[in-house]
């Protein structure tokens, strides 16, 4: 997971928010009326996805934009689930570009006491790079060393509930990390730094793990 700048609120969101939020609040908070069937946030999938070339903000796998179903089709996830926070149903700052696998098959409506690590956190200290590191040997995502108890719990809940070490993400991350190191090593020493900067600046699958790899390569004097 890496930090994503969500960008400013697109035109039209506030209109939908005014018109439809109350229905969700009535249903989930007041027990009035049935579950609303408006889902206009799906119209903004492109506004979210363009920031990362449709790479899922949670698992960092490339979404398949031609697919409307299946695990890698892109969806708009509510970071704080609507069932718990219906007032945020049409809040741009609560929307995450997520593959269906992360949103519907793993995270679902779960919301742990500590919440999740927010890929779009405003505060620098709350951003994913402060919560996670990656084991280069195993390819697993892990909580950063030395986190205080609540933050450790938040990191672990994020890994667990989003299934970030499940085979269907772990395997591809592991493969990507190995390939990234091999690509760096193949370059002349003078070109490695530019290559690494290029990867870190691009929307790239598993770029979050690249930060850990780059730190190790710097420590070892490889770049
Ligand atoms: Zn995902």
Distance 220 CA to ligand 1 centre (A): 32
Distance 1 CA to ligand 1 centre (A): 10
Q: What percent of the chain has pLDDT over 90?
A: 90
Average pLDDT over residues 124-131: 96
Distance 136 CA to ligand 1 centre (A): 20
Distance 58 CA to ligand 1 centre (A): 5
β-bridge partners, 99: 74
**How far is 20 from 34, CA to CA, in rounded Å?**
13
Distance 71 CA to ligand 1 centre (A): 8
Distance 45 CA to ligand 1 centre (A): 14
Distance 109 CA to ligand 1 centre (A): 15
What pLDDT score was predicted for residue 203? 86
**How far is 98 from 101, CA to CA, in rounded Å?**
8
pLDDT higher than threshold 90 for residue 159: yes
Could you count the other beta carbons within 10 Å of the beta carbon of residue 200? 13
- Can you give the pTM of this predicted structure? 0.94
Annotate 55-89 with b (16+ C-beta within 10 A) or e (fewer): bbbbbbbbbeeeeeeebbbbbbbbbbbbbebbbbb
**Where does the pLDDT of residue 180 fall: very low under 50, low under 70, confident under 90, or very high at 90 and above?**
very high
pLDDT higher than threshold 90 for residue 201: no
Distance 56 CA to ligand 1 centre (A): 5
pLDDT higher than threshold 90 for residue 202: no
Q: What angle do CA 164, 169, 175 make, to 5 degrees?
A: 125
Distance 9 CA to ligand 1 centre (A): 23
Q: Of the candidates 192, 183, 194, which has an alpha carbon nearest to the alpha carbon of residue 223? A: 192
Torsion of CA 196, 199, 205, 208, to 10 degrees: 60
**How far is 20 from 64, CA to CA, in rounded Å?**
29
pLDDT higher than threshold 90 for residue 68: no
């Amino acid at each position: 997971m890496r930090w994503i700048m969500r960008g400013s609120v697109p035109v039209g969101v506030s209109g939908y928010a005014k018109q439809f939020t109350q229905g969700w609040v009535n249903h989930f908070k007041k027990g009035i009326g049935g579950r609303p069937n408006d889902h206009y946030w799906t119209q903004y999938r492109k506004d979210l996805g363009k920031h990362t070339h449709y790479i899922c903000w949670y698992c960092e796998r490339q979404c398949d934009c031609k697919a409307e179903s299946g695990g890698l089709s892109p969806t708009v996830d509510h970071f704080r689930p609507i069932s718990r926070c219906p007032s945020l149903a049409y809040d741009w700052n609560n929307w995450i570009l997520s593959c269906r696998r992360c949103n519907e098959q793993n995270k679902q409506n779960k919301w742990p006491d500590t919440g999740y690590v927010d890929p779009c956190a405003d505060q620098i200290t709350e951003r994913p790079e402060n919560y996670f590191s990656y084991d280069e040997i195993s390819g697993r995502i892990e909580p950063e060393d030395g986190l205080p108890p609540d933050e450790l719990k938040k990191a672990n809940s994020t890994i667990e509930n989003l299934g970030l070490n499940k085979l269907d993400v772990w395997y591809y991350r592991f493969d990507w990390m190995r390939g990234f190191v091999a690509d760096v090593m193949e370059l002349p020493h003078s070109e490695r730094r530019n290559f690494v900067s290029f990867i870190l600046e691009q929307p790239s699958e598993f770029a979050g793990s690249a930060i850990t790899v780059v730190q190790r390569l710097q420590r070892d004097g490889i770049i």
